[in-house]
Structure 1
Amino acid sequence: MNRTSFARASFLHRATFCRTVHTIKNGRNRKISKDGVPPSPSPPWSSVLLRLVRNNNVEEARRVLEGILPFADAQHYTIVIDAYSRAGRLREALRLFSEMPAARDLACWNSMMKGCLNCGHLPLARHLFDQMPERNTISWTTMLDGLARAGRIAEAEELFLEMPQRDIVAWNSMIFGYCRNGRAPEACALFDNMPNRNVISWTAMIGGLDLNGQSEAALRLFQQMHAAGEKPTSSTFASLLTACSNVPNASVGAQAHSLAAKLGYPHDAYVSASLISFYAACNQVDDAQRAFSENGRKTVVTWTALLTGYSSNGRHREALRLLKRMTLAGMRPNQSTFTSALNSCCKLEALDEGKVVHGGVIKVGLDLDVFVGNSLIVAYSKCGEIDDARMVFDNMPNRNLVSWNSAIAGYSQNGRGRSALEVYRDMQAAQVRPDEITYVGLLTACSHSGLLEEGRRLFRLLNQDTSLEPKLEHYVSMVDLLCRTGNFGEAEELIKSMPLEPNAAVWLALLSSCRAHSETETAIRAAQHIFDLDPQNSAAYVLLSNVYASARRWNEVSETRTAMRRSGTAKTPGFSWIMLKGARHVFACGERSHPMAKEIYQKLDWLAAKLKTCGYEPELGSALHDVDDEQKDAALGVHSERLAIAFALLSTVEGSVIRVMKNLRVCGDCHSAVKLMSRILGRQIVLRDPSRFHHFNDGSCSCGDYW
């Protein structure tokens, strides 16, 4: 029905309604039946009410119901009660249910109970179920499904066993419940004992096994289903292809694609999206693109599947371009779309693009969505804009554990340890229980800010919490904190007492701080442990060589480098980069191949002169070569981050923030030099290394020199 026809129909119904009500009220033209009861008014009011609620005209439906009160029956009330429930207006639905003069039939009781469950009021639904004068299979199954969805699987089991009659829907609901609550063995046992199965039973079990990490078993079950002659539905194919993605199994997925095409399902939105996701999971992005292009009826689900596929395969520019195409095509992105797009912004360190995506989020009204909010917090944090991340966090009307963890991790990454602890205190006040990820963020924040006592206290709390189990990441963070603050003996004792087998990362945390504290013997012991675990660990060779160089043990430096070459291990080359107008400009130490190399080195000379005027003295210990001091000074002056900063001075607006990324840890000399640069230039410089962000401003760094 087009808009004009619908408007005319609505007008006619309202006119008929008004005439009928007027006739009823004034007692005119009423025909009386033989038993003295007036006939039901015309037109059929169930159809009128259904049409109104389908077009979201709930209030008008309520007025119609009130107007036909002498003749309204339970069916009429059920239509309006159900509409209120679907709109989340449970209070109005309950009031109408309690006040209805007509006798409540079974359908009305079931509808009200289902409404309570849909609105998240399980106790009220259970109360209604217990009060029902009679029940049918729908009543039992509705309550069973509600308990299972709420995770109250033991109560669902009891209800299932109490059912006087169990139809196939009840059996399927119980299978769904078991799978949804991580009880795959019980689901399998129930499936095996079913007196009858339908395609929903098979699909539930296939999807349930995959959900519980048994994707291979899900694929085998589909083969059994096919052998049994059961025809799969679009939901079956969606579940099967998801399992193929999780394995991944390209062969079975291709066969599923062929069978889906034979049965006419590839143009189904969810099958198409599952196909796209499957090919992306198998790193076959071109095939994912082909599956997208072949689907003539593109939906937000298929667009999002392709965008996520691009993002998960490192094709982030294409992901962001696809988001633009999607919006130009008039498609409204959803939470998953924006989450994947923001992930691509993070990987590209593309702050400007991230802000554009944030604008799109606001435009479609998803800025208050908790999942999108979490992604925005992560995106801004990973681009060094922690204040914007905090603004998003503060504006979220609802937060989950991921929200709190993202805020804590964001402050940790940006060197704001005390702010991370403040968020943790707010989290405790909100009575949100921390998990293992929370403690990783907190211990890392303490490590990056030198908060030794607070870190020790948190580590004790973690070990005292019987619901949590310390992981290797927690020990890495704690060892790092102890070493950064000079407590090497305590760090070694902690490693020895670990209930877990220490891995290379734990020993690297010990080794990486040895040079700054002249702990040569500790470094040798830590390096040996790493070589025992990973003989080709390039970071261990480089760190040990640096420790020897700081101690001026040049023979050992030479021996370490020789051993590194013999092991076939290559040193990771250091480089820095800066994003400018969507282009990535990369610089290596002493880089002279850049088109603006001449201007960059002139700017470096100017900066060097300004630094000396301000009393800068190079930390020659950071130049780890057996050469004279003049050569060391020259080598330090052309480190990659300094080249990137010089390029930024030539290419960006005066007063804007300079953002530099670096693949290796910033050396002590560059850290001191960039602090002074921020004062000389009057500009904020944000430098990110693999561990964290350094925010340089007016001669100081956010890390407090605990880098």
Structure 2
Amino acid sequence: MALVTLVPPLTPCAASSASRDPLDAVPRRSPGTHPGPAAGRRRRRRAGGGAVSSASSSTLSAAVRRLLSDGPTPRAFSALLKAASSASPPCPSLGAQLHAQAVVRGFLGGEDSTILATAVLNHYASCREPGIARKVFDAMPRRNTVTWNALIKGYAQAGRREEAMLLFRNMKRQGRHVAPDRYTFPALLSSVGREVDAGCMQELGGSLHAHVIKAGLEKDPFVGASLISMYATIGTLVDAKVTFDQMDSLDPIVWSSMISAYVNCKEEEGALLAFFNMLCQDIKPTQFVYSSVFSVCGSMSILEMGKQVHAYSLKSNTEKDAAMINAILTMYSDCGCINDAWKVFYSNDNVNAISYNAMISALGQHGYPKEAVEHFRQMKLAGLMPDEVTLLNLLSAFNHAGRVHEGLQLFNSMVDIEGIKPMYEHYACIVDMLARSGEISEAMKTINGMPFEAEAPLWRIVLGACSKHRDIETGKKIAEMLFEIEPYEAANYILLSNIYARLGRWKEAEKVRNLMYERGVDKDDAFSWIEMGQRTHRFGVDDRSHPISREIYKNLDRLISSIKVAGYVPDISFATHNIERDRREESLYYHCEKLAFAFGDLAAPSGGTLRIMKNLRVCGDCHCAYKYFSLVTGREIILRDNQRFHHFNRGSCSCGDYW
């Protein structure tokens, strides 16, 4: 399909609002510029999240001291235990102290101590200590539904599903005075996960759904939302949709769960349509809904829709939390608008570690390693502690820029300087960094020295580097291993075939492709897309299905002639079939990303920026052609492939020809 209308525009009033850039109110800052010292001080004041958490802890400690000196009551103990459980993070030592004092003062163990004992139990459950919570439970002379729910939730949250289910069965045997309610089922449903035995999970989920219906809670928004989320988790979106339709609810929590279910099941268009149906029924979206929709707009790279949703959120005066702001930032970045992502970051009054992580990741993907390092420095100056994600994003920024020395230096200092032990993902990033730079033997040494067993995707990264650097011997060994591990993964065959093809060893290349076809392995078709207004135009290789296909090919032929005059020479090593040279050159002209650019050049005003997306990695010949396209047309071209962003301008690319 060449032309797709994704979703209808927002309501007329929202659309008129969206016609103005929702970011116009914020001064634009471009990559490479930084706030002055005063702005840095403002940023540090805004970002002082650590002070709030420590103040909360000290406030609780002071309240406990006052309680113990003023003759405490069981109700006061219960209130403070609840506060200790609700703190972020919970205060386990404070709760244990309160528990001990309640025992010493004789407040526990009596017939009327159920409320306080339940508060103690709930505290331990919230602190992921279901074993201790169970001891408190067993010692209680009387229990109610709240008590059972607290213990079931504690086991479920600790990942101990079997024990949670056993407690549920025992609860049902207690009689009507402790019957399961709207708080029992969400805890149980949240424990149903996507595991190897999918059939078992579906059976368990269906059984719990039957219990919900028997209890008459199937239309309860709280329970219904949990059912929808459970079905999405186990991958049965149809059942989630049926549950949603049967509820016929206007509760925003239910709609939020359905939109999230579409997102989790990779049904992005369904999520957008659900969002628009929500607006049509005058249901105000929650912050979580907006975060999900921004995530969809980013993953689909539909900028205009993302702008409209952003404008609508501003018009409806939706209060933004940190997660929503970070989702907006990531959406603009994923759509190729790094300047707009930058503006969102600097307009945020509640910058936290996640905000910095999102910005560092965006800068790395767009090829701004210096700016990523500067944000890392600002983050530490603001008193925010880097975490595993921060360092992974920074390593990725070095990786995309080919700054191997700095990447290795950061990796080797993680434990000593940052106090963070490298995880599998950090090792994988270093392997990718070394292999991408041509240090394939060092990449292999790193794999062999990892405290983890390398998984197939990591070996495939090295195989891709072997294809780039034409290391046939290492490539053959890795490919043969991958054929055993993943016999139906097309990329393994294609990468090995490409090594042979680039070396001119056509018989071996054809043999690998024949093996692939004999095993019935289907490869992913390459396609590119470009958004124009409310429509997305998609192109495959040598695609002639677009309504103005004839004009597109005519324009592409003109562009190819122009860039050849400017110095472009087709790189026929990227033509992977053994045909005559002229035909190999011609086969390169009609790659999907070239067709998308030729269409964009026709449809967009002269000299305007074009944003083009591709589902696979851009080939070397198209990358070279795009540099010349930007030179002869005077356009900035932003290309997103499945690895990173490329900003082409005046004949050069932001990646420095390293990707």
TM-score (norm 1): 0.78
Distance 1:403 1:269, change over 3 A: same
Deviations 1:452-486 (A, max 9, x none): 11101111123546953323322221122122323
Q: What SS class does the counterpart of residue 639 from structure 2 fall into? A: strand
Does 1:142 find its partner at 2:90?
no
Letter aligned with residue 149 of structure 2: T
Find the residue that maps to 2:635 and give its secondary structure.
coil
- Give the conservation status (yes or no) of the 8 Å contact 2:297–2:331: yes
Superposed CA deviations along residues 109-161 of structure 1, whole A, max 9, x for unmatched, are xxxxxxx99998323323432442x2210122222232333322123113212
- State the match for 1:126 in structure 2: 64
Q: What's the counterpart of residue 135 of structure 2?
A: 189
Q: In the TM superposition, what are the counterparts of 1:369-448 in structure 2 within 5 Å?
A: 369-448=321-400
Could you report, residue by residue, the CA deviation over 1:161-203 in whole angstroms, capped at 9, with x for unpaired residues?
2212122222222222222222222223332332221100111
What is the one-letter code of the residue matched to 1:237? F
Q: Which moved more, 1:624-633 or 1:371-380?
A: 624-633
Contact 2:125 2:155 in 1 (8 A): yes
Q: Partner of 2:32 in structure 1?
A: none
Query: Residues 254 and 669 (structure 1 numbering): CA distance in 2 closer, same or farther, change over 3 Å?
Result: closer
Whether the aligned pair in 2 keeps the contact of 1:148 and 1:174 (CA below 8 Å) is no
- Inter-CA distance 270–367: structure 2 relative to 1 (3 Å threshold): closer
1-side partners of 2:182 and 2:55: how far apart? 27
- Counterpart of 2:166, as a letter, is R
Q: Residue 646 of structure 2: which of 694, 697, 707 is its match?
A: 694
Structure whose CA Rg is larger: 1
Of 596, 606, 627, which aligns to 1:654? 606
Q: Which runs of 5+ in 2 are unaligned?
A: 1-53
Q: How does 1:570-589 map to 2 (within 5 A)?
A: 570-589=522-541
After TM superposition, list the pairs within 5 Å mapping 1:491-530 onto structure 2: 491-530=443-482
Give the secondary structure class of the aligned counterpart of 1:223.
Answer: helix
Q: Which moved more, 1:538-547 or 1:244-253?
A: 244-253
Q: Do the aligned partners of 1:216 and 1:243 also contact (CA within 8 Å) in 2? A: no
1:237 to 185, 196, 208: 185
Kindly provide the amino acid, as one letter, of the partner of residue 223 in structure 2: V
Cα shift readout 1:623-647 (whole Å, capped 9, x = no counterpart): 2333332122111111111011112
2:91 is aligned to 152
d(CA) in 2 for partners of 1:615 and 1:590?
24
Tell me, in whole angstroms, the C-alpha distance in 1 between the residues paired with 2:216 and 2:317.
36
CA distance in structure 1 between the aligned counterparts of 2:59 and 2:451, rounded to whole angstroms = 44
* 1:200 aligns with one of 130, 140, 146: 146
Residue 253 of structure 1 and its aligned partner are, at CA, apart by 4.4
CA distance in 2, matches of 1:176, 1:379: 38
Q: Is contact 2:287-2:320 (8 Å) kept?
A: no
Structure 1 spans left out of the alignment, 5+ residues: 1-115
Deviation at 1:314, TM superposition (A): 3.3
Equivalent in the alignment of 1:100: none
* Number of the residue aligned with 1:214: 160
- Structure 2 letter corresponding to 1:311: V
Contact 1:511 1:543 in 2 (8 A): yes
- Matches of 1:391 and 1:627, distance apart in 2: 50
User: Equivalents in 1 of 2:653, 2:84: separation in Å?
Assistant: 53
- C-alpha spacing 1:257/1:532, structure 2 compared with 1 (3 Å): closer
Kept in 2, the 8 Å contact 1:171–1:194? The answer is yes
- Supply the RMSD in Å over aligned alpha carbons: 2.7
Aligned length: 591
Q: 1:598 offset after TM fit, Å? A: 1.2
- Kept in 1: contact 2:194–2:235 (CA 8 A): no
In 1, Cα distance between the equivalents of 2:616 and 2:248? 47
* Kept in 2: contact 1:117–1:125 (CA 8 A): no
Rounded Cα–Cα distance in structure 1 between residues aligned with 2:374 and 2:248: 51
How far apart in 2 are the matches of 1:234 and 1:513?
A: 54
- The verdict on how the C-alpha distance between 1:208 and 1:572 changes in structure 2, with shifts beyond 3 A counting, is same
In 2, Cα distance between equivalents of 1:277 and 1:171: 32
Q: 1:320 to 1:560 in 2, by over 3 A?
A: closer
The DSSP-based 3-state class of the residue aligned with 1:585 is: strand
The 1-side partners of 2:640 and 2:442 are apart by 30
Whether the 8 Å CA contact 2:225–2:253 is kept in 1: the answer is yes
Contact 1:308–1:340 (CA under 8 A) maintained in structure 2:
yes
Query: Contact conserved, 1:475 with 1:506, CA < 8 A, in 2?
Result: no
Paired AA for residue 100 in structure 2: L
| Alpha-carbon distance, 1:607 to partner | 0.5
Superposed CA deviations along residues 417-450 of structure 1, whole A, max 9, x for unmatched, are 2222222122222232222222221222111111
Q: Which amino acid aligns with 2:79?
A: T
Residue 466 of structure 2 aligns to a residue in which SS? coil
> Contact conserved, 2:526 with 2:615, CA < 8 A, in 1?
yes
Preserved CA contact (<8 Å) 1:664 1:690: yes
Tell me, what secondary structure is at the counterpart of 2:413? Answer: helix
Distance in 1, matches of 2:96 and 2:141, equals: 18
Q: Which amino acid aligns with 1:209?
A: Y
SS of the counterpart of 2:642?
A: coil
Query: Which stretch shows the higher mean deviation, 642-651 or 147-156?
Result: 147-156
Q: Distance in 1 between matches of 2:283 and 2:552?
A: 45
What amino acid is aligned across from residue 303 of structure 1 in structure 2? W
Q: Secondary structure at the match of 2:310?
A: helix
3-state SS in 1 of match to 2:648: strand
Query: What's the offset of the Cα at 1:677?
Result: 0.6
> Matches of 2:385 and 2:101 in 1, distance apart?
36
- 2:264 aligned with 1:312: yes
Aligned pair 1:598/2:550, yes or no? Answer: yes
Instruction: Report percent identity of matched pairs.
Output: 34
Note the C-alpha offset of 1:264.
4.2
Equivalents in 1 of 2:186, 2:323: separation in Å? Answer: 23
3-state DSSP of counterpart to 2:282: coil
Gap change, CA 1:364 and 1:121, over 3 Å in 2: farther
Q: Do 1:219 and 1:244's aligned partners in 2 also have CA atoms closer than 8 Å? A: no
Higher relative contact order, chain-length normalized (CA < 8 Å, sep 6+): 2
Secondary structure of the equivalent of 1:433? coil
